Structure 1
Amino acid sequence: MKRLLKWLAGLSVAAGVLAAVVWTLNIQDEVDVNAPVAAAAPSEQQIARGAYLARAGNCAGCHTAPGGADYAGGKGIPTPFGTVFTSNLTPDDKTGIGSWSPAHFWRAMHNGRSKDGRLLYPAFPYTNYTQVTREDSDALFAYLGSLPPVVQPNQPHGLQFPFQSQAALAVWRALYFRPGVFEADTRQSMEWNRGAYLVQGLGHCSACHSARNALGATTQGLNLAGGLIPMQNWYAPSLSSPQEAGVAGWREADIVSLLQHGVSPQASVAGPMAEVVLRSTQHLSASDLGAMAKYLQQLPGTPVATAPQPAAAKVTPGTAAKGAKLYEQHCAQCHGASGEGVPKAYPALAGNRAVTMTQTVNLVQIVLAGGYAPATEGNPRPFGMPPFVLVMNDEDIATVLTHIRNAWGNQASEVTPIEVNRIRANSAR
């Protein structure tokens, strides 16, 4: 009995220590929302800057439900743990942020806490936004405060047990979140630092372009090494790998073109990145796009000369002939008999690293659902690819993609019908 009591006492002490550690980590660098601040009406310049920053962060992309009022929230964000519904950011006093102060908003951005101190779920990417400066946070708040107020109560999240609890979220934050404003690298230029600030902070590029663990945390911080986007069935390629989406060897103007127009001589955007260009990056200034390009050019990566080459698929002559026939029937009219493509219209498939990279999910998605670049000022009438979801079965799609990945000098692993079926099933949910 005494031994049991000692064991229970030790367990209680350990639990208390753990709780204290979690609590301490969750109040690190906490914003004092009650500190007196001189009140001043936002200037037109500050509001305009906030509008620009909201586009840089693509805030409307999440905080506007389909068919709903701008920034009024209510959009469901599916996660592996359930659905998170975005909040109303309009200045309504009851259902929006009309009763918030700039300090409350800064705490949400910097610490991931709501006005009442409640911990926010990282579907709101405060793990990136914590790097945003107080000046930019105040400008964003000024812009949101200038919007028409919309009465729309926030919808409760639909999260599974135990992920719906504040206690579980506090533990997650203790493990994976540390607040901290962006610190410039004195070894780099002002332009590079501006690019780093936009990419790492408001742009929250690592939210998609980094792998995540079983608890939804990015496994390697902000390294942009690529990762599957949870629940969307798209792969955000590595921005540092020469075999995926690294741009170290690109001209700066071509990187800017891709971010601004959705197309460049080397590539075009599709899927989730098309929405980013449509709603966000096409609206950024030339100087900010150039800064982002400069930063992306200098990401550490594997030199092209030493990058491992993918193994070619081993396919039977019959399968190879079937793949070539399917390509001739469905693809050659646009992409060319030898995968050469049509400049400014249809991308070349020969020598295209988006075709040969290890992850094949994007290829399957584009064949199933079609591929569309965004309409931008520099590319107002983009060419698109129709969906083949009702035209080809899983085996046909796997066969033609394996052919494309190994024709005209391409070399990559095969795509299997099981892979196609899994993506088709997941996309139909």
Structure 2
Amino acid sequence: MKRKSLFALSAVVVVAAAALVPVLWSGGDNLHNGTAVAATPADQAALIKKGEYLARAGDCIACHTVRGGKQFAGGLPMATPFGTLFTPNITPDDQYGIGKWTQDDFYRAMHTGRSKDGSLLYPAFPFTSYSKVTRADSDAIYAYLRSVTPVNVASRPHELKFPFNNRNLLIGWRTLFFREGEFKADPTKSVEWNRGAYLIEGLGHCGMCHTSINAMGGPVNSAAFAGGLIPLQNWYAPSLTSNKEAGLGDWETKDIANLLKTGVSNRGAVFGPMAEVVHNSLQYMSDEDINAMSTYLKTIPQKSEAPEALQLETSEKFGGELLKQGQKIYGDNCAKCHADNGLGMPPAFPPLANNQSIQMPSAVNPIRMVLNGGYPPSTDANPHPYGMPPFAQALSNQEVAAVVTYIRMSWGNHGTAVSPQQVSDLRSAPLD
């Protein structure tokens, strides 16, 4: 779950956190003309605090804040196959922000994907998931955003290719891929399960990273949560429905919770875009919310597998040569932390043996880790994480392919050999 996130035109690719369940805050506000209104200054302060939590949980800051810039002032470039989108200013500035927006305007944007003036919003803003967020939670986020410091900075116009700069074309996309409606609890499930479902499917929009998108930029709903390559960012969001990848059916709930809350667990660690999600968002969520998410994630049923991306294959003979070469490279560079037997020293140094993320059909993530290194997120519970050094300068494409091949095919792992061409393709991939 980016994560300065990288968006496709029609799908945000950030795995962020999630919102509180509807019942948590359903009784705290009075209603006036269908809009929540705080009755006293204390109520208003509570509403703003709730909204701050929700905005943090939804990782709003990651997309609406340029690194080193003013909070929520927008301007973050989002490279897409169709051009570059720039995130808007959502501070309460009357000229360039949402200072003149009402609660109804804000809820309409969240729920229907339409701006204050009625224009269609690009689905880089994940309204397909936000539609499930309750009115009470939307009003709380609005109250919080109205409380932050206004920034008088104009939102930069998008730089999209023709005809994608014509918003009217979104009508067809919405017809195919968008169904508005708030989250409906499943009465056959527990309160905790429903809470987790609301967190994952609503403000969290986790499926937007962990579900493949098609050529039109729409989600492949038949393979929801079955994993997919994040467009242009060149990280693979693993399947949450298959134990061959990151399926969590055989994980202990406490291990899932630790991974979400701290970025590390005895089963593995998060890197890349998911590390940013944990750092910016998930670590700040309550234990109750994290446990609810973990409960829901454990029960996601097996679904159709994600459409397979084209994979370069190596011959069996060359794969054998890479395996032998990789064993020596592993011993020289990796065994000190991950051990000769691949069991590592968790949670500081994750195991590579019997690690589903190593064996997935897509070898993108282990290749990128060897090339670029990285750290799990720094969190309150794990403030000084151990990192993985980069080897892009030290190892050639073939040497990286060899060591990745070795870890994918050793200690009982059932991965396939990696082509040096795959390494070459990823060597110049963006780091953010």
TM superposition score category, shorter chain reference: 0.7 to 0.9
Q: 1:318 to 1:226 in 2, by over 3 A?
A: closer
Quote the residue 1:207 is aligned against: 208
Q: 1:365 to 1:301 in 2, by over 3 A?
A: same
Please state how far the C-alpha of 1:425 moved relative to its aligned partner: 3.1
Please state how far the C-alpha of 1:344 moved relative to its aligned partner: 2.6
Please state how far the C-alpha of 1:107 moved relative to its aligned partner: 0.4
The CA deviation string for residues 95-137 of structure 1, in whole angstroms up to 9 with x for no partner, is 1000000000000000101111111111110010000011100
Counting only pairs closer than 5 Å after superposition, residues 126-141 of structure 1 correspond to structure 2 as 126-141=127-142
With structure 1 as the length reference, what TM-score do the two structures score?
Answer: 0.87
Aligned equivalents of 1:36, 1:184: Cα separation in 2: 26
Give the one of 313, 316, 327 matched to 1:314: 316
Aligned equivalents of 1:315, 1:403: Cα separation in 2: 14
Counterpart amino acid of residue 334 in structure 2 = C
Quote the residue 2:194 is aligned against: 193
With structure 2 as the length reference, what TM-score do the two structures score?
Answer: 0.86
Q: 1:136 to 1:222 in 2, by over 3 A?
A: farther
**1:312·1:412 contact (CA, 8 Å) conserved in 2?**
no
Aligned equivalents of 1:372, 1:428: Cα separation in 2: 13
The CA deviation string for residues 218-238 of structure 1, in whole angstroms up to 9 with x for no partner, is 111782111111111001101
Instruction: State the secondary structure of the residue aligned to 1:289.
Output: helix
The CA deviation string for residues 218-271 of structure 1, in whole angstroms up to 9 with x for no partner, is 111782111111111001101111111111122211111111111111111110
Greater per-residue helix proportion: 1
**1:235·1:361 contact (CA, 8 Å) conserved in 2?**
yes
Larger Rg: 1
Quote the residue 2:11 is aligned against: none
Aligned equivalents of 2:396, 2:189: Cα separation in 1: 51
Aligned equivalents of 1:276, 1:80: Cα separation in 2: 23
Structure 2: tracts of 5 or more residues without a match: 1-31, 304-312
Give the one of 368, 371, 391 matched to 1:365: 368
1:339 pairs with 2:342 = yes
Please state how far the C-alpha of 1:213 moved relative to its aligned partner: 0.3
Please state how far the C-alpha of 1:37 moved relative to its aligned partner: 5.5
**1:312·1:411 contact (CA, 8 Å) conserved in 2?**
no
Structure 1: tracts of 5 or more residues without a match: 1-34, 303-310
1:404 pairs with 2:407 = yes
Please state how far the C-alpha of 1:315 moved relative to its aligned partner: 4.2
Quote the residue 2:84 is aligned against: 83
Instruction: State the secondary structure of the residue aligned to 2:224.
Output: coil
Quote the residue 2:235 is aligned against: 234
The CA deviation string for residues 15-61 of structure 1, in whole angstroms up to 9 with x for no partner, is xxxxxxxxxxxxxxxxxxxx966684571111111001111111101
Counterpart amino acid of residue 176 in structure 2 = L
> Looking at both structures, which has the greater relative contact order when contacts are Cα pairs under 8 Å and sequence separation is at least 6?
2
Aligned equivalents of 2:377, 2:81: Cα separation in 1: 28
Aligned equivalents of 2:108, 2:223: Cα separation in 1: 21
Please state how far the C-alpha of 1:321 moved relative to its aligned partner: 2.4
- Aligned-residue CA RMSD (Å): 2.1
Quote the residue 2:277 is aligned against: 276
Aligned length: 388
Instruction: State the secondary structure of the residue aligned to 1:74.
Output: coil
Aligned equivalents of 1:156, 1:388: Cα separation in 2: 38
Counting only pairs closer than 5 Å after superposition, residues 20-419 of structure 1 correspond to structure 2 as 40=37, 43-220=44-221, 223-301=224-302, 314-316=316-318, 318-419=321-422
